[in-house]
């Protein structure tokens, strides 16, 4: 069974999903960070493949993409790293990548390497429902789950999106690009309520504090934290695994404490 599906079957705690950009600041640190994430209470890990034009990202993750490209990290390096990590790690791992990186690599070859290295799914922010057919066959052939996204503007599309959803539904908290938001308006909540238990829902975009993580996790099956983690990596560079681990533990603790 796919590790993502399995993770959501275990409902003892709300899922904490963490994002980092591969090769930021370098590949060795990325590997350490992933091990630290798993040890600090993360349930699922998303690795962003650095891209020249990350059009869905706010400034924090955009800068991480620039650092990832500067460290000359390619998807081949990331496949190797994940294969290496799989010797000791069973946590679900996904790639967060723009469509062009898969398309240029060759979709069949990309998904084959995902399967071989132990990547469980892909999140492609520039692939809405209408274009998900692009990689569908290759994904299915190699058991790679393609995560669907739901936005506050998806009201008229919700049924079609849910019908195609696998693994979990990535629910975008609010309009705009990725990035920390001081005031997190939860315009996505009514949509998640409609979905019920058909598919697990995780909320992302803007969640940066333990308090926000707890509030959002109460609306869904999990939360996704990206920019807040990347901001720590940006600040501490190669020395970031320690402080990042502390941050994740704080969030984990807050989420697991009964209100």
> Footprint of another protein on this chain (CB under 8 A)?
51-53, 55-56, 58, 62, 69, 74-75, 98-105, 125-131, 149-157, 161, 172, 175-177
Least separation, in Å, of the C-beta of 107 and another protein?
Answer: 11
Which helix (H) or strand (E) segment holds residue 257: the answer is: none
Q: For another protein, which is the closer residue by CB, 104 or 198?
A: 104
Q: Are 64 and 84 in contact (CB under 8 A)?
A: no
Q: For another protein, which is the closer residue by CB, 90 or 155?
A: 155
| Neighbouring residues of 3: CB distance < 8 A, sequence distance ≥ 6 | 90, 91, 92, 93, 120
- The distance from CA 2 to its chain's CA centroid, rounded to whole angstroms, is 16
Of 119, 32, 35, 26, the residue nearest 74 (C-alpha)? 26
Least separation, in Å, of the C-beta of 194 and another protein?
Answer: 16
Least separation, in Å, of the C-beta of 164 and another protein?
Answer: 12
Secondary structure class of 103 (helix, strand, coil): helix
Tokens representing residue 240 in the block: 């970031």
Q: For another protein, which is the closer residue by CB, 156 or 259?
A: 156
Instruction: Provide DSSP, 236-254.
Output: HGGG-HHHHHHHHHHHHHH
Q: For another protein, which is the closer residue by CB, 41 or 54?
A: 54
Least separation, in Å, of the C-beta of 74 and another protein?
Answer: 5
Q: For another protein, which is the closer residue by CB, 20 or 150?
A: 150
Least separation, in Å, of the C-beta of 142 and another protein?
Answer: 19
Q: For another protein, which is the closer residue by CB, 91 or 172?
A: 172
Residues paired with residue 203 on neighbouring β-strands, in sequence order: 171, 223
Strands, E, within the chain: which ranges? 15-21, 44-48, 93-96, 121-123, 145-150, 169-172, 201-204, 222-225
Least separation, in Å, of the C-beta of 56 and another protein?
Answer: 5
């Amino acid at each position: 069974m796919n590790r993502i599906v399995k993770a959501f079957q275990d409902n003892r705690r709300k899922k904490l999903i963490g994002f980092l950009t591969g090769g930021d600041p370098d590949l060795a640190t990325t590997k350490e960070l992933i091990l630290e994430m798993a040890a600090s209470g993360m349930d699922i890990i998303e690795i962003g493949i650095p891209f020249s034009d990350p059009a869905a990202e706010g400034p924090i993750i955009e800068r991480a993409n620039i650092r990832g490209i500067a460290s000359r990290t390619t998807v081949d390096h990331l496949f190797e790293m994940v294969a290496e990590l799989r010797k000791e790690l069973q946590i679900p791992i996904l790639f967060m990548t723009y469509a062009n990186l898969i398309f240029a690599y060759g979709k069949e070859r990309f998904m084959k390497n995902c399967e071989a290295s132990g990547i469980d799914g892909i999140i492609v922010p520039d692939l809405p429902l209408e274009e998900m057919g692009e990689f569908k066959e290759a994904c299915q052939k190699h058991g790679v789950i393609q995560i669907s996204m739901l936005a506050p503007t998806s009201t008229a599309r919700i049924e079609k999106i849910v019908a195609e959803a696998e693994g979990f539904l990535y629910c975008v908290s609010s309009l705009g690009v990725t990035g920390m938001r001081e005031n997190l308006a939860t315009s996505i909540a009514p949509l998640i309520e409609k979905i019920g238990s058909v598919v697990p829902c995780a909320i992302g975009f803007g969640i940066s504090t333990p308090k926000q993580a707890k509030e959002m996790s109460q609306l869904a099956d999990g939360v996704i934290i990206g920019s807040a983690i990347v901001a720590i990596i940006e600040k501490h560079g190669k020395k970031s695994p320690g402080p990042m681990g502390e941050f994740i533990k704080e969030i984990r603790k807050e989420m697991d404490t009964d209100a």
